[in-house]
Structure 1
Amino acid sequence: MTAQQQQIPEGFRQDAKGRLVPEDQIKEIDKVRDELVLAIVDRATELRDQLRDFKADTFSEIQAFVETSAQEYDVQLGGRKGNVQLLSFDGQYKVVRAMQDLITFDERLQAAKALIDECLTEWVSDARPELVQIVQDAFRVDQAGKIRTGEVLGLRRRFNIQDKRWLKAMDAISDAVQVTGSKSYVRIYERDANGHYRPISLDIAGV
């Protein structure tokens, strides 16, 4: 029990507004609802803890296997980075460990945007509408208000434009990239009857 729960007198319950309500004044349906919610939360937190342990154990076991495999060739691996794909002997299952850098842009992205805007302004009569749309979309923020890094970085490889301002803008985008951390995840797949690998979902919404 939490300290807050220990302070609640016997025969009372605390409501959402922090008020103490006598048990005998609470409707039976409200008590049943409360019991249902707490039972679901208990199971959910237990599953969350199991998933957290499963993830930690899986990463550790994959890393240990990778190091064991490397020893066969007398290779010492540095660090824990790198994508790894492991297949079961019969090819029915696949486990993928992936590492993804978390990327943001510094103030030089604004310089790149200004240079690109200059190009588009000059080219507007000749530029293909889809080029203008793609560039504009790349610099729009997502629902969280963040620049979509993949779209911006994609500008560098999608168009072969030799205008000096455009090339300078692409250099500014490259210089603006800041790696702020990394995100790691494990995905597990099962092969279906058609030979396609389908993810084994560990997301409650995907089960």
Structure 2
Amino acid sequence: MEGYMENAQGHQVPLAQVQEIDKARHELVMEKVAKAKAMRKALAELKAEIMDDVGAFIQLSAEKYEVKVGGNKGNVSLLSFDGRYKIVRQVAENITFDERLQAAKALIDECLRDWTKDARSEIQAIIDQAFQVDKEGNLSTSRVLGLRRLNITDERWLRAMQAIGDSIQVTGTKPYVRVYERRDNGSYTAIPLDMAAV
């Protein structure tokens, strides 16, 4: 509404009642937010361009061997000829577990009851930690999957690990692209595209 400014509560305040410092602060914030939004849009466009071009390059490279590769799955690193720069495309899968995870937990609990009869309760707590949920009620995928790396041969444990494997559901993927520059010591460091890291 002309002649008014909306405040944080949604009320229309006549311009004459808004202090000059508040007007100046509002203008500064709005100007910088517009620039940040434009930069976010440019970064999204750059990401899409890099993902498309890397995918096209992979296809071009595969055609040399008369093979067709499908989709944009899989991680790949492309290096400049001099090795100074590297582009890394990663596709992370979002993983959840279905109801079979409960069967795995029951089998693990059964194992622990037998194994820890005369042991300290802290051992049970270590395994239970893998099944703790965060504030949103989500399990730590890496903790649960980490149990599968343990070299335990008890038949119940092996069935539990099979149940964990069977319960894995891929609910989507998220593509990432990172650009790296080689340091003098030979290690690569990411070129930061996050304002806080610049």
Q: 1:67 to 1:130 in 2, by over 3 A?
A: farther
Say which of 22, 31, 54 aligns to 1:30: 22
Give the match for residue 162 of structure 1.
153
Give the RMSD, CA atoms, in angstroms.
Answer: 1.7
Structure 1 gap segments, 5+ residues each: 1-7
Q: 1:57 to 1:108 in 2, by over 3 A?
A: same
Q: Are residues 1:136 and 2:128 paired?
A: yes
Q: Is the 8 A contact 1:120 1:127 kept in 2?
A: no
* Structure 1 segments of 4+ aligned residues over 6 angstroms from their partners: none
Give the match for residue 59 of structure 2.
67
Identity of aligned residues (%): 55
Q: Distance in 2 between matches of 1:156 and 1:131?
A: 17
- 1:52-63 alignment, distance < 5 Å: 52-63=44-55
* Deviation for aligned residue 1:79: 2.0
Q: Distance in 2 between matches of 1:101 and 1:166?
A: 26
Alignment size in residue pairs: 198
Q: List per-residue Cα deviations over 1:56-101 (Å, max 9, x = no partner).
A: 1111111111111111111111222121110011111111101111
Q: Secondary structure at the match of 1:17?
A: coil
Say which of 177, 182, 186 aligns to 1:186: 177
Q: Is the 8 A contact 1:12 1:22 kept in 2?
A: yes
Q: Distance in 2 between matches of 1:142 and 1:12?
A: 45
Normalising by structure 2, report the TM-score: 0.93
Q: 1:29 to 1:151 in 2, by over 3 A?
A: same
Q: Secondary structure at the match of 2:171?
A: strand
* Deviation for aligned residue 1:188: 1.0
Per mean C-alpha deviation after superposition, the further-off stretch among 124-133 and 192-201 is 124-133
Q: Secondary structure at the match of 1:45?
A: helix
Structure 2 gap segments, 5+ residues each: none
* Deviation for aligned residue 1:133: 4.4
Say which of 177, 180, 184 aligns to 2:168: 177
Q: Distance in 2 between matches of 1:130 and 1:95?
A: 45
Q: Distance in 2 between matches of 1:82 and 1:43?
A: 34
Per mean C-alpha deviation after superposition, the further-off stretch among 168-177 and 143-152 is 143-152
Give the match for residue 33 of structure 2.
41
Give the match for residue 68 of structure 2.
76
- 1:50-129 alignment, distance < 5 Å: 50-125=42-117
Q: Distance in 2 between matches of 1:153 and 1:60?
A: 32
Q: Secondary structure at the match of 2:197?
A: coil
Q: Secondary structure at the match of 2:196?
A: coil
Normalising by structure 1, report the TM-score: 0.89
